[in-house]
């Protein structure tokens, strides 16, 4: 609890420009809406996936990006996940760091890549807007340009492959802005590229997936050394998983259910993960 109190004290003492609160909350709402729309698109795409011709995609990249794309995590003979954009750009005001994945091997994979490309561009633009807002507030409250340039003003978009087989892949695309701790978003991709569809919790756990997840999560919360950080149901804490609950597949093939920071626990707990044994 000492760590929680310290984190809360630090948070409460941090000056947050009021004009940015609406932007941050709007960004979070847009992210959630986009994830829901993506899941709806996946379900529709699955019915026509068989119409796609399987072809290996060809990268059209600049020499600086091609070097990053050379290290290719191979899924199978047809499917690949690779880095299509990798760069760091700094101008004194902010630093933008990007590691962007691309999925190749089918029409479904191409659609995923197009979505990721749009997400990355959107997160870069939003992050730069947030940093600029903080800069204006920083200078307006007595800060200097020299002091601003000494701060960590990073906009980051990266990805992490959680697991892969010959035809499936589970990975996340993460974005954050260092000056705004609440401005973080993770998009989860659990893909069966051969079938051309999203992998669901029901696919992995069976028809009783909701009950299995809920029972396991409640037990893990009770056994946690930080269980006092979790909100009660009345406080907005965990109640149940549903089709919009985020997860990824780990190397053991088990789904790991993820709740973002503040969703079911105090901010000091960060994002909270629960592995559901298959």
CB 73 within 8 A of CB 219: no
**Residue 106 in domain:** yes
**Are residues 154 and 25 part of one domain?**
yes
**Are residues 250 and 141 part of one domain?**
no
Q: Please give the helix or strand (H or E) that residue 156 lies within, else none.
A: strand 154-164
**Residue 6 in domain:** no
When computed from its CA atoms, the radius of gyration of the chain, rounded to whole angstroms, is 20
pLDDT of residue 176: 92
For the cut 80, the answer to whether the pLDDT of residue 150 exceeds it is yes
Strand pairing partners for 169? Answer: 164, 191
**Are residues 210 and 190 part of one domain?**
no
For the cut 60, the answer to whether the pLDDT of residue 82 exceeds it is yes
Query: pLDDT-derived band of residue 38, with 50, 70 and 90 as boundaries?
Result: low
**Are residues 115 and 37 part of one domain?**
yes
For the cut 70, the answer to whether the pLDDT of residue 17 exceeds it is no
Domain termination site, one of 161, 176, 199: 199
Q: Which of 164-173, 178-187, 259-268 has the lowest mean pLDDT?
A: 178-187
Please tell me the distance from the alpha carbon of residue 22 to that of residue 20, in angstroms, as a whole number: 5
Q: DSSP code of 232?
A: P
Q: Which of 66-80, 102-116, 200-214 has the highest mean pLDDT?
A: 200-214
**Are residues 181 and 233 part of one domain?**
no
**Residue 165 in domain:** yes
**Are residues 243 and 110 part of one domain?**
no
**Are residues 227 and 131 part of one domain?**
no
Q: DSSP code of 48?
A: T
**Are residues 219 and 114 part of one domain?**
no
**Residue 227 in domain:** yes
Number of domains within the chain: 2
237: CATH: 3.90.640.20
Backbone angles phi, psi at 196, to 5 degrees: 70, 45
Domain termination site, one of 168, 199, 230: 199
Task: Calculate what percentage of the chain has a pLDDT beyond 70.
Answer: 73
Domain termination site, one of 170, 199, 228: 199
**Are residues 133 and 26 part of one domain?**
yes
- What average pLDDT is seen over the chain? 80
**Residue 243 in domain:** yes
The pLDDT of 212-220, averaged and rounded, is 98
> Taking the CB of residue 69, how many other CB atoms lie within 10 A of it?
16
**Are residues 195 and 207 part of one domain?**
no
147: CATH: 3.30.565.40
**Are residues 224 and 133 part of one domain?**
no
Q: How do residues 244-261 score in pLDDT, each as one tens digit?
A: 999 999 999 999 999 999
Cβ burial 234-264 (10 Å sphere, 16+ → b, else e): eeeebeebeeebbbbbeeeebbbbbbbbbeb
pTM listed for this prediction: 0.75
Long-range pairs of 210-217 with CB within 8 A, sequence gap ≥ 24: 210/240, 210/241, 210/242, 212/276, 213/241, 213/245, 213/257, 213/274, 213/276, 214/240, 214/241, 216/274, 216/276, 216/277, 217/241, 217/257, 217/274, 217/276
**Residue 233 in domain:** yes
CB 42 within 8 A of CB 112: no
Q: How many helices (H) and strands (E) does the chain have?
A: 7, 9
**Are residues 213 and 190 part of one domain?**
no
Range of the domain at 99: 14-199
């Amino acid at each position: 609890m000492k760590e929680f109190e310290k984190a809360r004290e630090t948070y409460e003492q941090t000056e947050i420009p009021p004009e940015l609160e609406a932007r941050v909350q709007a960004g979070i709402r847009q992210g959630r809406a986009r994830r829901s729309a993506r899941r709806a698109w996946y379900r529709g795409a699955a019915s026509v996936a068989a119409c796609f011709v399987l072809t290996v995609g060809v990268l059209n990249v600049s020499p600086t990006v091609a070097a990053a794309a050379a290290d290719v995590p191979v899924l199978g003979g047809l499917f690949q996940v690779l880095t299509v954009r990798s760069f760091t750009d700094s101008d004194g005001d902010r630093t933008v760091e990007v590691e962007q994945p691309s999925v190749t091997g089918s029409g479904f994979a191409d659609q995923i890549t197009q979505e990721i490309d749009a997400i990355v561009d959107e997160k870069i633009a939003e992050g730069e807007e947030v940093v600029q807002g903080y800069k204006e507030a920083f200078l307006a409250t007595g800060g200097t340009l020299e002091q601003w340039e000494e701060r960590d003003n990073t906009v980051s978009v990266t990805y992490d492959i959680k697991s892969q087989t010959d035809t499936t892949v589970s990975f996340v695309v993460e974005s954050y802005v260092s000056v705004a701790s609440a401005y973080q978003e993770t998009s989860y991709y659990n893909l069966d590229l051969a079938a051309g569809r999203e992998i669901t919790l029901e696919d992995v756990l069976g028809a009783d997936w909701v009950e299995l997840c809920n029972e396991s999560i409640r037990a893990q919360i009770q056994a946690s050394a930080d269980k006092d950080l979790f909100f009660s149901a009345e406080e907005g804490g965990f109640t149940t998983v549903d089709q919009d609950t985020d997860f990824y597949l780990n190397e053991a093939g088990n789904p790991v259910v993820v709740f973002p920071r503040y969703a079911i626990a105090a901010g000091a707990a960060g994002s909270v993960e629960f592995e559901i044994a298959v």
